[in-house]
Amino acid sequence: MRSLLHDIAHIEFWVEDARVVAECYQRVFGFDAIAEAGPETGLAGHRSIVLAQGDATFVVTSSVDGSGPVAEFTRQHGDGVRDVAFAVDDATQAFNEAVALGATPVEASAVAGLTKAGRTIRGFGDVVHSFVESRSLPDFFRPLSATSRATSDVGIRSLDHVAVCLPTGELDTVAEFYKRVLGFEDGHAEYVETELSGMNARVVQRGPIRFPLQEPLAQNPTGPIAEFLTLNRGAGVYHLGLLTDDICRTLHGLRGKVKALDVPDTYYEQLPNRVAALDVPMADLREFKVLVDPGPGGILLQTFTRSLHPRQTFFIEIIQRKGAVTGFGSGNIRALFDAVEADRIALAANTARG
């Protein structure tokens, strides 16, 4: 693809109630609500709210009357990511090139919010990609006053990556689509097998746009990835990685608002054997459930939050790269799987007791 994809312009969620979801991202994750659109401003049948922190921009869109493409999406998948929009120089050129290389255009009947017919292609499952020339909003969005802003951000700088879950057998097909149609390149590949589950994974990326792609193992199709596919009723975005320059500061700001997935104490007992030079206090790592992975050029620190979505199909990862400009915590993947599986078991036990 000749057109330059600069970055991810925004992530659009299609949800049952845009106001409720926007308030959650403001209250919990420190995003500002900066603009809004609805029937009263010219957005027929839907309501959209734009949220921003650092260079990360989210849009949450819902139906106002329970009809239309957004309502159909949420009935099928629950609240979830609909559009991973790319910032480009020429949206029409990028769209035409992608279609010429085999992408499927999104029909007008499946468009709402910021998604635009004629500039949007299908990605994986029901997730699409819009091409956006400017981060400025359409005229039917009205800016919101400072009273709609968060009291303070938590230090989110930008979007680091978009993690995708795919049905078994689709991983290579989807990875090759992004390489052929959008000019992505291969990152690293991963194979993980635990006592209860496992996954195959490939990373495809183009500049700062990074998609870790994951599928359950054919011989052991259980665990977090398979559970997501069941609850989401198909492929979708599993989590977003949000980048910070100080993970402990960010997690301190999230304290009491969202919980991190548990990490076994043995992880921290073994950590000095894996990471020789660590300039973050071990007490902070334990308190905030931070995982540490050495990589090319430095270390990566990451925490995975528990899902706040009704179907438990989406969560936020907080990530800090101290010199490690590539990688996604390969050494921590097994720890994540073990933590997610333990979390599911504990949740099921609590539900049974209740």
Residue 208 is part of a domain; what is its CATH number?
3.10.180.10
At 127 the pLDDT is: 97
At 80 the pLDDT is: 97
d(CA 198, CA 345): 16
At 208 the pLDDT is: 92
Signed CA dihedral, 114, 115, 119, 121: sign only: positive
At 148 the pLDDT is: 57
Same domain, 276 and 331: yes
Same domain, 217 and 348: yes
Tokens 């991810």 belong to residue:
8
Q: Model's pTM, two decimal places?
A: 0.89
At 48 the pLDDT is: 96
Residue ending a domain, among 121, 148, 175, is 148
At 69 the pLDDT is: 94
| DSSP-assigned states of every residue in 323-354 | B--S---GGGHHHHHHHHHHHHHHHHHHHHH-
Same domain, 48 and 100: yes
Domain count, the chain: 2
Range of the domain at 38: 5-148
* Averages of pLDDT over each 10 residues, the chain, 354 residues: 84 96 94 94 93 95 94 97 95 94 92 84 96 84 75 87 96 97 90 75 94 89 87 97 94 91 80 78 90 82 90 93 69 62 68 71
Residue ending a domain, among 102, 132, 148, is 148
Same domain, 135 and 170: no
Same domain, 22 and 166: no
Q: Could you tell me which residues are beta bridge partners of residue 261? A: none
108 token code pair: 């007008």
At 299 the pLDDT is: 86
Residue ending a domain, among 148, 167, 190, is 148
Q: Give exposure, 39-67, as e/b (b: 16+ Cβ within 10 Å).
A: eeeebeebbbbbbbbbebbbbbbbbbeee
Same domain, 181 and 307: yes
Same domain, 133 and 200: no
Same domain, 120 and 38: yes
At 340 the pLDDT is: 59
Q: E strands of the chain, at which residues?
A: 5-14, 32-37, 46-53, 56-63, 80-88, 120-122, 128-132, 142-143, 156-165, 185-193, 198-206, 209-216, 236-244, 291-295, 298-304, 315-322
At 193 the pLDDT is: 74
